[in-house]
Amino acid sequence: MPKLPANPIADLTDRFFYRANIRLKLFYAMLALIVVLIVAINGAGHYIFTRDFLGYLNEQAQQRMEDMVPRVEQAYREHGSWEFIRGNPRTWFELMKPAIVEHNGAAPAPGPILTPSDLTGATLRFSLLDANRKFVIGYPNVGPDARLRPLLQDDTIVGWIAQTPFENVIGAVDLRFQQSQFLAQIIIAVVAIMLAAFMVVRISGVLMKPLARVARATHRLAGGDYAIRVEVESGDEVGRLAQDFNQLAMTLERNEKLRREFMADVSHELRTPLGILNGQLEALEDGVLQPDEQTIRSLKSEVDHLNKLVGDLYDLSLADAGALAYRKADIDLAPLLRDAVQIYEERFRKRGLALTAHLPGTMPAHADGARLQQLFNNLFENSLRYTDRDGRMELHCRLDQQQWILRFDDSEPGVDAAALARLFERFFRVEASRNRASGGAGLGLAICRRIVEAHQGTISAQASPLGGLRVTVTLPAGFADQKGQP
């Protein structure tokens, strides 16, 4: 036995509306519009008919009633009572007939004279009542809403003419009116529905085709085809959707490329020192190399290199995941920098490089001292590595608009303009082969950028007036509770 739906109404709406395609929904909307229009037109027609046409009929009848009053009064005067007319419809109709009017002296038209009130049957709704409002002749069902007109004889009321209004008979007239309209309405409705179906097919064709294209492309994108693009054919919503889709596909494609490059870079960077280590160990095994101090130092340096690389990669991946922990405190950057300068001075001197620093007395900031030390070390290390002998490095610090501006300048070689913007990318190195000899993996500045950004600062690279590279770092000045007031 088929299972009955728990809620048949909900089941029907689900089947016929939510799961219906857009074409069907459009059709439903048009259908609803047609029904509303037909009902509205019908209602308006009915209202106007009742108000204007019935008003007109009642007015005609009223006039006709006034017209006959003198004749009925005259007849009463002649007979002295209403007995002459009781049970005598002929006389009553004679009295109701309009007076023959002469138009500009011309003879009246032969035959009965018909007025609109005759045509509408108004006179059939007239009744004659005696002074006590008792029925004498005419329309027998005088309702409580009938309009009464007194008949006078020497200022005393001798009877009434009652007119039962048209509102009471409207049902019959209305029915005829509606019946005549019904067929026309059915024809209009059928034509309108056919027209709606045709338009829905056309409109949905125009609307759905580009949408279907985007939908197909999305399906392929979801399947990993990042090179897919859709043609932008219009400036409307669907066109914008296509544009955004292309943007999304481009971003995904770029990210996928970056991911592949990153994996390739990481494995390459790891393979090189591992290969060197392996080669040296094999040479030791074969007795080609002696396990002396120099060999051990060389092995240790490759292990150090691997260590640093894995450590940097770890830091970067933590920073990317937003999980690199920062322990910020109110600290003075001046002693931190002075210590770093002191540590590097000796190494700079050994390479024939002069290192000078121009620092304010105190540099309050809310920062993670250990991470900033890592930042400064990276920058000093770079200048040490990538500055030709007999050059120099200068560090300048100043306060500008509640920001510490730190400028690290060194002498030649510099970095060409195209490479400047890319220095902070992971694994980016200028002349990779040259730097491989000096041991860099291209992660240092990428880490620097993450550290600075975690302090709501900025880092950028420019050409230095000293001939080499200038790295500019900005960091918010001031302690946590008095930001900007060092």
Contact footprint for ligand ATP (CB under 6 A): 312, 378, 382-383, 386, 410, 413, 415, 423, 428-430, 435, 440-446, 468-469
Find which of ligand ATP, Mg ion, none residue 302 binds, CB within 5 to 8 Å per kind: none
Of 46 and 436, nearer to ligand ATP (C-beta) is 436
Of 336 and 430, nearer to ligand ATP (C-beta) is 430
E-strand spans in 86-183?
126-130, 135-138, 147-153, 156-163
Q: Which of 117, 382, 411, 474 binds Mg ion (CB under 5 A)?
A: 382
Of 196 and 355, nearer to Mg ion (C-beta) is 355
The CA-to-CA distance between both ends of the chain, in Å, stands at 83
Query: CB of residue 468 vs Mg ion: minimum separation in angstroms?
Result: 14
Query: CB of residue 419 vs ligand ATP: minimum separation in angstroms?
Result: 7
Of 406 and 415, nearer to ligand ATP (C-beta) is 415
Q: Largest alpha-carbon pair distance within the chain?
A: 161
Q: Does 442 bind Mg ion (CB under 5 A)?
A: no
Query: CB of residue 301 vs ligand ATP: minimum separation in angstroms?
Result: 13
**Options 271-279, 314-322, 382-390, 414-422: segment touching Mg ion (CB under 5 A):** 382-390
- How many Å apart are CA 434 and CA 413, to the nearest integer? 12
Of 138 and 442, nearer to ligand ATP (C-beta) is 442
Q: Does 391 bind Mg ion (CB under 5 A)?
A: no
- In the bound state, the residue with its beta carbon closest to Mg ion is 444
Find which of ligand ATP, Mg ion, none residue 457 binds, CB within 5 to 8 Å per kind: none
Q: How many helices and strands in the chain, by DSSP H and E?
A: 13, 11
Q: Does 165 bind Mg ion (CB under 5 A)?
A: no
- φ and ψ of 109, to 5 deg: -65, 140
Q: Does 444 bind Mg ion (CB under 5 A)?
A: yes
Query: CB of residue 423 vs Mg ion: minimum separation in angstroms?
Result: 10
Read off the amino acid at residue 200: V
Find which of ligand ATP, Mg ion, none residue 423 binds, CB within 5 to 8 Å per kind: ligand ATP
- SS3 annotation, 34-77: HHHHHHHHHHHHHHHHHHHHHHHHHHHHHHHHHHHHHHHHHHHH
Asked if residues 128 and 161 have their Cβ atoms less than 8 Å apart, the reply is yes
Structure-token match 């090189």, residue found: 272
Structure-token match 């770029």, residue found: 254
Tokens, residue 417:
């303009």
Of 228 and 445, nearer to ligand ATP (C-beta) is 445
Per-residue b or e along 32-62, where b marks 16 or more CB atoms closer than 10 Å to that residue's CB: eebeeeeeeeeeeeeeeeeeeebeebbebbb
For binding to Mg ion (CB under 5 A), which residues are involved? Answer: 382, 444
